[in-house]
A and B are shown apart, each in its own frame.
Chain A
Amino acid sequence: MKSIKVYGTILIVVALMASLVVSCNKDIDLSEELPALVPVGTDEDAETWLGAAEPDVTMAKMITAAETSTPKIFDPANDLTMVQDVNSAAYQAELTSIKDLQKNLTAEQKQIIEYWSGGGVLRWNQILRGLVARFNLPPAPKADGTYPVPDAENPFADPNFPFANPPYAARAYSYVTIAQYEALKAAWHYMYVYNRQSPFDVDNSVQSLMPETGLPAYPSHDAVLSGVTAEMLKLLFPAAVEEITLRAAEQRNAALWSGRASSSDIAKGLALGKSVANLFITRARGDGMGTAGGNKAAWDALAQNAIDQGETPWISLENPKRPPMLPFFGLRKAGVSNGVKAWRMTTDDIINNRPTPPPATASSEMADEVNEVKYYADNLTRERLAIVHKWADGAGTYTPPGHWNDIAAEYIRDAKFSEVRAARAFALLNMAMHDAGVACWDTKYFYFNPRPCQLDPSIKTGTGVPNFPAFTSGHSNFSGSASTVLSYLFPQGSDYFNDQAREASLSRLYGAIHYRTDVEVGLEQGQTVGLFTVNFATADGAD
Chain B
Amino acid sequence: MFVLLKTPNYMNRLLLVLMALCSQVAFSQTLTDGLMMSKGKFCTGFLYTHDQWKEYWEGELSRENGNIGEVTTQSIMWAGNYGITGKLNVIAMLPYIKTDASMGTLHGMNDIQDLSIGVKYNFFKKEFEKSAFKAFGVLNFSTPIGDYTPDFFPLSIGTQTTNVAYRLTTYFKLKEGWFVNLSGAYTWRSNTQIDRPSYFDGNEFVMSDEVKMPNMFDIFGSIGYLKGPLQVEADYIQQNTLGGGDIRRQDMPFVSNRMNFIKTGALVMYYPPQVKNLALRAAGYYTLSGRNVGQSTTWMVGALYTFTFIKEQ
Contact = CB atoms under 8 A, between A and B. Distances in A.
A398 B198 contact: yes
Given A137-B248, A138-B250, A158-B249, A29 B208 contact: yes
Interface residues of A, number: 60
Interface stretch (A276-284, A314-322, A518-526): A314-322
Contact of B252 (A141, A159, A395, A459): A395
Nearest to B68: A319
B196 A319 contact: no
Nearest to B147: A382
A391 B85 CA distance: 53
B38 to A, nearest CB: 15
A377 B199 CA distance: 25
Interface in A351-405: 377, 380, 382, 385-387, 389-393, 395-398, 403
Nearest to A322: B67
Interface string B100-119: 00011111100000000001
Contact of B106 (A26, A130, A390, A460): A460
A408 B125 CA distance: 65
A9 B17 contact: yes
A406 B106 contact: no
A453 B105 contact: yes
B213 interface: yes
A461 interface: yes
B15 to A, nearest CB: 12
A14 B248 contact: no
Nearest to A402: B198
Given A389-B195, A390-B196, A461-B105, A24 B190 contact: yes
Contacts of A26: 190-191, 212-213
A134 B203 CA distance: 9
Interface string A174-208: 00000000000000000000000000000000000
Nearest to A2: B13
A131 to B, nearest CB: 8
Interface in B177-209: 188, 190-191, 194-200, 204-209
B107 A460 contact: yes
Nearest to B63: A140
Nearest to A21: B188
A107 interface: no
A469 interface: no
Contacts of A137: 248-251
B107 A462 contact: yes
A386 B195 contact: yes
Contacts of A13: 20-21, 23, 119, 141
Interface residues of B, number: 52
A157 B19 CA distance: 56
B196 A392 contact: yes
B62 to A, nearest CB: 13
Nearest to A139: B250
A461 B210 contact: no
A31 B152 CA distance: 22
Interface in A131-168: 133-134, 137-141, 158-159
Given A30-B208, A31-B207, A319 B105 contact: no
B151 interface: yes
Contacts of A310: none
B249 to A, nearest CB: 5
B97 to A, nearest CB: 15
Contacts of B211: 28
Contact of A395 (B190, B195, B251): B251
Contact of B151 (A6, A30, A380, A389): A389
A29 B210 CA distance: 7
Contacts of A14: 119, 139
A45 interface: no
Interface string A1-32: 00100110110011001101100101111111
B206 A28 contact: yes
A477 B10 CA distance: 65
A493 interface: no
B289 interface: no
A514 interface: no
B162 interface: yes
Interface string B134-161: 0000010100000111011000000000
B162 A20 contact: yes
A465 interface: yes
B88 interface: yes
Nearest to A393: B196
B9 to A, nearest CB: 10
Interface in A441-478: 453, 459-462, 464-465
A28 B23 contact: no
B164 to A, nearest CB: 5
Contacts of A3: 85
Contacts of B88: 6-7, 10
B121 to A, nearest CB: 8
Nearest to A132: B205
B250 A461 contact: no
B212 to A, nearest CB: 5
B278 interface: no
Nearest to B65: A319
8 contacts: A9-B17, A130-B204, A133-B198, A137-B249, A319-B66, A390-B197, A398-B198, A460-B107
The 8 A-B pairs at the shortest CB distance, nearest first, are namely: A319-B66, A130-B205, A460-B107, A140-B250, A389-B195, A133-B200, A386-B195, A9-B20
Given A129-B198, A138-B250, A389-B196, 13 more contacts: A7-B88, A9-B17, A13-B21, A26-B190, A26-B191, A133-B205, A137-B248, A380-B107, A395-B252, A397-B196, A398-B198, A460-B108, A461-B106
